[in-house]
Structure 1
Amino acid sequence: MFKNIVAADMAVFINPDEFGEPHNIDGKIYTVVVDNEIIHERPSLSTSGSNDFDAHGVYLTNITFFIKEIDLGYIPVENQPMEFDGLLCTVRKVIPNVGIVEVMLDCNQS
């Protein structure tokens, strides 16, 4: 019974007609929900802010997204490289929760 309720909620949450959007992860298009505001709610996850500039004109940006575990086919691990919409990123944190995986990335942009 509970699993059916969760599955129904997941279908709404990740649905492209609701909150889901297509994004390229490691060369494949997935429907995900991106939430870049969550990094502000969890300041301990950001070592020195969500957009940090260095002397070379490259800055660190944080991306948090939610994806169905069944769609991705695996649970990422911390420090794993991951490409997100053409940005080379590193997985900072992963939180699997009832079929949905929250993935927090650190990405370098120039």
Structure 2
Amino acid sequence: MNFKDQLAIDAAVFFNPNEFGETHLIENRQMVIVIDNHELLHRKANTANPDDGIHDAEILFYAKREDFPQRPAVDSWLIMDGKQYRVAVVQEDDVSYTIALRANGS
């Protein structure tokens, strides 16, 4: 088994609704994501730049890259569970995106 195979196995466990995953409606599609409020608070506490996007974020979540047709763009709109947000931060790794959202009015 190579490293990418192991990442795929780990992602299957991480995004499993019986483990950490939760189903949410994102852009009118049901997706299993992992919301991480603790990581959001940690990043906010450790940011030195109030303009880096994370400072105003309300939600931070992890989503499988394969669930998005393309990488969400910073400052684009994203609808989650019927509420419109601005994408504040997007980071990616081999299998997932880390996405931070800020409220529409920010």
Please give the range of the TM-score, normalised by the shorter of the 2 chains: 0.7 to 0.9
CA contact (8 A) 1:69 1:101 kept: yes
Count of aligned pairs: 96
Per-residue deviation, residues 38-67 of structure 1 (Å, max 9, x unmatched): 2211122214xx6xxxxxxxxxxx111111
**Which has more strand, going by share of residues?**
1
- More deviation in 87-96 or 37-46? 37-46
Opposite residue 19 of structure 1, the aligned amino acid is: F
Is 1:25 equivalent to 2:26 in the alignment? yes
Q: Which residue of 1 aligns with 2:8?
A: 7
Q: Match for 1:69 among 56, 65, 68?
A: 65
Larger relative helix fraction: 2
| Structure 1 runs (4+) greater than 6 angstroms displaced | none
- Name structure 1 gaps, 5 residues minimum: 51-61
Q: Secondary structure at the match of 2:91?
A: strand
Calculate the TM-score normalised by the size of structure 2.
0.83
Equivalent residues of 1:91, 1:105 under 8 A apart: yes
Percent identity of paired positions between Structure 1 and Structure 2: 31
* Deviation readout 1:82-105 (Å, 9 max, x if unpaired): 011111100000000111101100
Q: 2:55 aligns with which of 40, 43, 46?
A: 46
State the TM-score, normalizing by the size of structure 1: 0.81
> Conserved in 2, the CA contact under 8 Å of 1:26 and 1:84?
yes
Q: What corresponds to 1:100 in structure 2?
A: 96
Are the counterparts in 2 of residues 24 and 30 from structure 1 also a CA contact under 8 Å? Answer: yes
Work out which of the two has the higher radius of gyration on C-alpha atoms and give 1 or 2. Answer: 1
